[in-house]
Amino acid sequence: MKTSELRASLRKRIGKGESKKLRREGFIPAILYGGSFGAVPIKLERKDVIRNITERDLEHTVYTMKLDDGRECDVLVKAIQIDPITDEVLHLDFLELERGKAITVEVPIELVGKEVCKGVKMGGILEQYLWSVEVECLPGNIPDKIEVDISELGIGDSIHVEDLVLPEGIKVLEDPETTVVVISEPVEEEVEEAAEAELAEPEVASKGKKEEEE
């Protein structure tokens, strides 16, 4: 799990006009949800956001947010609004986490051993069906990724959710029988037959043309 620190200030005014003004002044408007105070309008310095927040980290980073009123809480980024033209961060939504209470997050799956996979070396086709899994865990236990070793898989072998090796304290919420990855049979014969059929077509056409000329 990645951790980082963010500093935020409470906003006294809200609205589109106020948000535009904040952006011009170097701030990013945001909302903090989930706490005992409901939805709290806040603002963060743009440079702080750029330094600490990236799309890749969003699902797996617990931020310690320090507010200017003295409060401190753990948060996750739940939504980020980005300008489609300039890629500028326009708005953020944070979820305050209750310490000691499990949360649900998506964690990416990373295949390892692809270069030495037995089945692939034998001509098999690597097919990945699941790219992430939904897990339940404490905020401090969120894994950055779940690695799946496929080096020993042969042709016809597969790995399912129930086969995943998980860190302690992680509960997967997906169907245990869901296929993660499989090494399929090669399809060389079908390709060769299709190629032979294509080569045969011009010969038939050529023969017919010759008969017409006679």
CA 104 to chain centre: 14
Say which range, 59-73, 118-132, 197-211, has the weakest mean pLDDT. 197-211
State the average pLDDT over residues 66-92.
Answer: 91
Rounded distance between C-alpha atoms, residue 183 and residue 179, angstroms: 11
Q: Write out the residue limits of the CATH 2.40.240.10 domain(s) in the chain.
A: 2-96
- Furthest CA-CA distance within the chain: 99
Q: Write out the residue limits of the CATH 2.170.120.20 domain(s) in the chain.
A: 106-189
For residues 81 and 158, the answer to whether their CB atoms sit within 8 Å is no
pLDDT digits (tens, 9 = 90+) for 170-209: 999 999 999 999 999 987 665 555 556 565 555 544 444 4
By CB atoms closer than 10 A (0-12, 13-18, 19+), residue 17 is: exposed
Please, which residues have CB within 8 angstroms of residue 214's CB and are 6 or more apart in sequence? none
pLDDT digits (tens, 9 = 90+) for 1-45: 566 889 999 998 888 888 999 999 999 999 999 876 789 999 999
Say which range, 58-67, 153-162, 187-196, has the weakest mean pLDDT. 187-196
CATH classification number, 2-96, choose in 2.40.50.140, 2.40.240.10, 3.30.1490.20, 2.60.130.10: 2.40.240.10
pLDDT score recorded for residue 206: 47
Confidence band for 214, pLDDT divided at 50, 70 and 90: very low
Sheet of 125-128, strand order: 125-128, 179-184, 158-160
49: left (phi over 0), alpha (psi -120 to 50) or beta: alpha
Let me know if domain 106-189 sits in CATH 2.170.120.20.
yes
pLDDT score recorded for residue 130: 97
Residue 101 vs residue 180, higher pLDDT: 180
pLDDT score recorded for residue 57: 62
Mean pLDDT score across all residues of the chain: 86
pLDDT score recorded for residue 16: 84
Distances (CA, A) of 36 to 62, 66, 73: 19, 16, 12
pLDDT score recorded for residue 53: 78
Residue type, 4: S
Residue 78 vs residue 177, higher pLDDT: 177
pLDDT score recorded for residue 41: 94
Token reading at 169: 């304290």
For residues 76 and 94, the answer to whether their CB atoms sit within 8 Å is yes
CA 63 to chain centre: 18
Question: Residue 120: which of 180, 181, 177 has the closest Cα?
Answer: 181
Question: Residue 29: which of 90, 78, 81, 82 has the closest Cα?
Answer: 90
Give yes or no for residue 144 having a pLDDT over 90: no
Say which range, 57-66, 100-109, 169-178, has the weakest mean pLDDT. 57-66
